[in-house]
Amino acid sequence: MALANCPDCGALFVDNGAGLCPACIAKEEAAIQQCNEVLREGEVADVASLANKTGIEERLILRLLHKGRLLAQSSAPLQYPCANCGKPITQGKWCSTCAQKLQLASRSQGTASTQARRRANAFHFYSKSDPDDR
Ligand SMILES: [Zn+2]
Ligand SMILES: [Zn+2]
């Protein structure tokens, strides 16, 4: 178990994988219920009006949408911005373009860090085996 600062309110808490302090998790759960109730009625079409109706911060609603925690409506899908470029999307966290780009980026990042580690190991090896009594 590790102590961490809650990214939302800054409180120190024991992070057991949730990534948020218990108070903020409770706040999220309450927000999810409230938003889903409004969404079920099908009267809101965007994040701003959902925020207006529920009194919940847009920032929090967006985070929940990006986590996929809010109801998706087939009849009138709620539009919200892609977490990367801001293009309107109706599901997931990124638009299809960004999802593809980010997938590629994370893949090449992975190989870069592997190469760096290999280089670091090689350096370690050479400096260790470099004899002083030459
Ligand atoms: Zn918190
Ligand atoms: Zn995007």
Cβ atoms of 67 and 29 within 8 Å: the answer is no
Domain boundaries, the chain: 2-81, 95-134
pLDDT of residue 43: 79
Q: How confident is the model at residue 93, as a pLDDT? A: 93
Q: If you average pLDDT over every residue of the chain, what do you get?
A: 84
Q: Which residues surround ligand 2, an ion (CB under 5 A)?
A: 82, 84-85, 87, 95, 98
Minimum-distance ligand to the CA of 85? 2
Across 28-44, average pLDDT: 90
Mean pLDDT of 28-56: 91
pLDDT in tens, 55-98: 999 999 999 999 889 886 545 678 899 999 999 998 889 999 99
Q: Which of 8, 121, 5 is nearest to 62 (CA)?
A: 8
Residue 66 alpha carbon to ligand 1 centre in Å: 18
Question: 34 vs 8, 29, 61, 89, 130, CA distance in Å?
Answer: 19, 9, 10, 21, 66
Count of other CB atoms within 10 angstroms of residue 128: 7
Ligand lying closest to the C-alpha of residue 81: 2
HEC secondary structure over 12-31: EEEECCCCCCHHHHHHHHHH
Please report the pLDDT score of residue 114 as a whole number.
65
Query: Does the pTM of the predicted model rise above 0.85?
Result: no
Of the two residues 77 and 18, the one the predictor is more confident about is 18
